[in-house]
Amino acid sequence: MQIHVDKRCLWWGLLSAVIASLLACGGASTSSARLEDYVSRLERALEVERPAAPTFRPPRLSEARLAKLPINTTAISVLDFLALSGCELQVNIGRRNSTLGRNASSSQALLLDVEFLHQVPHCVTRLKKQNNTTLATTLETMADERKAALPRRIFNALLAESEFGELWHLPPQLDDYPAHVNGDVIASLNYFDTVIRQWLQGNYSANFANHNALFEGHLAQLRAGDGGALLLASSTLYRYLAQASVLLRNRNTDKPLCPGGRVTRSAEIAQTVITKFFTTHTQPWLASVNARRHSLMAPLQSIEEQLAPVLPVTYKAWQAQRDATLDTTAEAPKSHIATVKAVFAACASTPWSR
């Protein structure tokens, strides 16, 4: 009796098997899956029920409901505007007073003010030579107002904008974070840190023909940032490692792993799990998350430090929660290792008892 095999079915079967295998491998390599695997194996090795994961909710910037800071500046009359003929500043003020200027985005309003501050000294000098000291004094007053308002302008154009909100948007899952993060967001944050420092120190010179596109391009780049993924990764590792630590403490309380110093079979299995699935598989991922945290937070915290006097209460509250979350989770691996060492301290001969 001959059996006829449909080759198309065979190929589809093989293809489906390959796809299923790849998906399975991909799932096992995700960040949360790696932690879940470690805790599950530890639970089986210790033969105790896993405790409930602690509640650790990442702070959401969207819940801060940030509002733009109010800014009031002096305007000049039509006659004074006409008297600025021959000054580059006249074009700047004309753009600000146009329909587009009055409805400009926060970033465009900021760049117009920076351009104003860059151009005003030359125009004041010109007016004083023409003995128009009244208008020159008015422009100096306007410049002082814009200097004082500059930190608020920067906050409105950067930290209160939707692009910054997207940077901190929490993703639905971690996948393989941070293996394929967008490196450009770090460059953009470093750009903002540098240019803000220059402006607040009184250095307004720039190639304004290119500066506008450069600022807006870096602002748009923040949408692809991974601040939210960093917070999710931090809270995820904290919850899993807290579970793992409680598992170890509960087992050692109910039934010591090494009674009288004797290493039990459970202790040997648990040791293997910790060495292979925490030390070898999980700690490198934790190190990469920590490295990403430093790269991302260094320029951002520098920006926040420069704008600290004008940061609203709602932003500071979110900032404090964010930093506390990152600080707590940065200590989670050390805390877990300390728990492991304490639990195995009574064992006669394990790597963790030394």
Structural contact between residues 74 and 141, judged by C-beta atoms closer than 8 angstroms: yes
Structural contact between residues 221 and 188, judged by C-beta atoms closer than 8 angstroms: yes
CB atoms within 10 A of CB 240: 21
Structural contact between residues 160 and 219, judged by C-beta atoms closer than 8 angstroms: no
| Cβ neighbours of residue 163 closer than 8 Å, sequence gap 6 or more | 219, 220, 222, 223
The whole-number pLDDT of residue 247 equals 94
* Tens digits of pLDDT across the chain (354 residues): 443 434 443 333 433 333 333 333 333 457 788 899 999 999 999 999 988 888 888 999 999 999 999 998 888 888 888 999 989 999 999 998 888 888 889 999 999 999 999 999 999 999 999 999 999 999 999 999 999 999 999 999 999 999 999 999 999 988 889 988 877 999 999 999 999 999 999 998 755 556 788 999 999 999 999 999 999 999 999 999 999 999 999 998 888 888 888 888 989 999 999 999 999 988 999 999 999 999 999 999 999 999 999 999 999 999 999 999 999 888 999 999 999 999 998 887 666 555
Residue 42 in tokens: 């530890």
Cis preceding linkage at 299, omega within 30: no
The whole-number pLDDT of residue 207 equals 52
> What stretches of the chain adopt beta strand conformation (E)?
none
The whole-number pLDDT of residue 351 equals 61
Q: Does residue 175 come out as left (phi exceeding 0), alpha (psi in the -120 to 50 range) or beta?
A: left
Structural contact between residues 196 and 154, judged by C-beta atoms closer than 8 angstroms: yes
The letter for the amino acid at 188 is: S
Total-model pTM: 0.85
The whole-number pLDDT of residue 290 equals 92
| Cβ neighbours of residue 332 closer than 8 Å, sequence gap 6 or more | 237, 238, 241, 242
The whole-number pLDDT of residue 5 equals 39
Interatomic CA distance for residues 320 and 136, integer angstroms = 44
The whole-number pLDDT of residue 353 equals 52
The whole-number pLDDT of residue 209 equals 53
Q: Classify burial at 126, counting beta carbons within 10 Å of its beta carbon; exposed 0-12, middle 13-18, buried 19 or more.
A: middle
Nearest to 111 by CA among 188, 23, 26, 210: 210
